[in-house]
């Protein structure tokens, strides 16, 4: 009986593959939107590109310090580490550093070291960092690359990798011109004023941004929203691979890394995600409620954001009193990301992005459309959800490279900029050689 079930399952998988191979590719359809004030534009769209510099007044910093001074600590349970969330005793140490030692004005200078701009698209002032290579040796190609952050990150995640991409490695090769926008509602991009702004709308706005900058063809890198929402979708082959993959790993091309991260399934695919996805349910249902509290409390905001930089970097950090925060990141960089949320007042609008994307469930029509452009996938071992190559190929039909990374978690660009930069260069080198050999 078991053999018959397995044979039926395999025949079903084969039919699934055959049908999808010959099915005409669907095309994502999207229409222009209006997300600014009012019902629509009053006149012609303003396509001006304006320089932007971050600044913070003394009164804003005084208000922050007053709120930090008036926090009401709550004692943590004995021996709880980060299992109940951000450990309160360690949070007091972070607050003390933030209040007394953290130099925000110095970090503002660091943020402003790269050129920032804003431009209005579909009624929203969109912020972005635009870094051109300082030197382009003769014979070196300049390749445009847009890099998109996720939650609770920001454009600042890419500050470690930008120099690695914009500095030419060898004459005659290529170097990158990097654009790092803030998703509308995040950082210094204006928040949408109407309901319905989801990941498709953000993609359309960023495509318009790149066209406005003069790029008809470009490469794109993204994690978090770009991967979590559109790639990790259930389907027949995915289900079969989960049911049969442990017994027949070669059938689904499962590697030892896949087996390690996928089984036992009950713990790693059910229990573990439940421990780390409570925030998602809140933000996908009632973001404005908790958002108002976090927008008023810098301590609450820091706890909410920095806890993710602990457990999403490594689940083992839950066992540490300090959450392992400074094992992979500096406290200055972590607090700089928090300060971007605080000074921009964008935590609520950033959380609304979950409701707009998930209010109809993950299985939206666009999530079922395969990606047919050349794609590279970097598989970091401490990512929240492990994705075997088989699953990636169901979404990305022209997978050029799949790289099992030796280390790294959810905030890979910030945690392991060297590894990510090398993988980006490897992927683009492969694609460019394919184009050249056509």
List, for residues 118-175, the tens digit of each pLDDT value. 999 999 999 999 999 998 988 899 999 999 999 999 999 999 999 999 998 776 689 9
Which range of residues forms the domain containing residue 62? Answer: 49-238+263-436
Residue 243 included in any domain:
no
In a domain, 37, yes or no: no
Which class for 433: exposed (0-12), middle (13-18), buried (19 or more C-beta within 10 A)?
exposed
Per-residue pLDDT at 226:
47
Residue 103 domain-assigned? yes
State the pLDDT at residue 10. 35
List the structure tokens of 166.
């914009």
Active-site option among 198, 224, 258, 423: 224
Whether residue 354 lies in the annotated active site? yes
Q: 437 in helix, strand or coil?
A: coil
pTM passes above 0.85? yes
Under the banding of pLDDT at 50, 70 and 90, the label for residue 229 is: very low
Catalytic residue among 149, 304, 410, 423: 410
Name the least confident of 7-16, 128-137, 155-164, 269-278. Answer: 7-16
For residue 139, being part of any structural domain is answered with yes
Task: Round to whole Å and give the CA distance between 272 and 261.
Answer: 11
Contact 307, 363 (CB under 8 A): no
Domain membership of residue 314 (yes or no) is yes
410 as an active site residue: the answer is: yes
83 pairs with which residues across the strands?
Answer: 85
Q: Write the DSSP assignment of 281-299 as a string of letters.
A: HHHHH-HHHHHHHHHH-HH
pLDDT of residue 7: 35
Q: Number of folded domains in the chain? A: 1
Beta carbons of 95 and 302 less than 8 angstroms apart: yes
CATH of the domain at 285: 3.40.50.1820
What's the mean pLDDT in 22-44? 79
Distance CA 394, CA 235 (A): 9
pLDDT per position as a tens digit, 300-312: 999 999 999 999 9
Instruction: Evaluate whether residue 16 is within a structural domain.
Output: no
Query: Using an 8 Å Cβ cutoff, are 144 and 215 in contact?
Result: yes
Q: Catalytic residue at 224?
A: yes
* Catalytic choice (354, 386, 396, 423): 354
Residue 35 placed within a domain: no
173 falls within a domain: yes
Q: How confident is the model at residue 387 (pLDDT cuts 50, 70, 90)?
A: confident
pLDDT exceeds 80 at position 200: yes
Evaluate if residue 25 carries a pLDDT over 70: no
């Amino acid at each position: 009986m078991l053999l018959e079930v397995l044979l039926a399952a395999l025949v079903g998988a084969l039919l699934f593959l055959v049908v999808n191979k010959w099915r005409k590719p669907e095309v994502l359809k999207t229409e222009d939107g209006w997300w600014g004030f009012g019902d629509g534009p009053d006149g012609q769209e303003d396509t001006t590109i304006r320089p932007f510099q971050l600044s913070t007044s003394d009164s804003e910093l005084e208000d922050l310090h007053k709120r930090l001074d008036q926090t009401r600590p709550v004692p943590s349970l004995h021996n709880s580490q980060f299992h109940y969330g951000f450990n309160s005793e360690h949070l007091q140490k972070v607050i003390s550093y933030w209040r007394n030692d953290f130099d925000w004005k110095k970090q503002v200078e660091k943020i402003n070291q790269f050129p920032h701009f804003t431009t209005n698209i579909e009624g929203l002032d969109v912020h972005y960092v635009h870094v051109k290579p300082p030197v382009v040796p003769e014979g070196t190609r300049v390749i445009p690359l847009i890099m998109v952050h996720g939650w609770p990150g920001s454009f600042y995640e890419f500050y470690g990798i930008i120099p690695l991409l914009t500095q030419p490695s060898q004459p005659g090769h290529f170097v990158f011109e990097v654009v790092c926008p803030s998703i509308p509602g995040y950082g210094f991009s204006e928040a949408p004023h109407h309901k319905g702004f989801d990941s498709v709308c953000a993609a359309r706005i960023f495509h318009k941004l790149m066209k406005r900058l003069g790029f008809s063809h470009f490469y794109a890198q993204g994690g978090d929203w770009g991967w979590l929402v559109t790639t990790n979708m259930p389907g027949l082959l995915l289900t079969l691979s989960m049911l049969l993959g442990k017994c027949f790993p070669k059938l689904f091309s499962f590697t030892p890394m896949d087996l390690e991260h996928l089984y036992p399934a009950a713990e790693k695919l059910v229990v573990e995600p439940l421990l780390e996805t409570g925030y998602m349910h809140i933000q996908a249902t009632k973001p404005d409620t908790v958002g108002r509290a976090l927008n008023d409390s810098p301590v609450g905001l820091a706890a909410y954001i920095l806890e993710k930089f602990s457990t999403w970097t490594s689940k083992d950090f839950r066992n540490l009193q300090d959450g392992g925060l400074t094992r992979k990141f500096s406290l200055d960089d972590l607090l700089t990301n928090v300060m971007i949320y605080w000074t921009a007042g964008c935590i609520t609008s950033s959380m609304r992005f979950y409701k707009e994307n998930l209010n109809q469930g993950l299985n939206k029509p666009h999530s079922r459309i395969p990606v047919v452009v050349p794609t590279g996938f970097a598989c970091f071992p401490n990512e929240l959800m492990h994705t075997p190559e088989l699953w990636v190929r169901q979404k990305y039909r022209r997978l050029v490279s799949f790289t099992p990374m030796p280390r790294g978690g959810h905030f890979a660009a910030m945690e392991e900029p060297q590894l990510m930069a090398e993988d980006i260069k490897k992927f683009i080198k492969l694609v460019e050689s394919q184009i050249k050999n056509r």
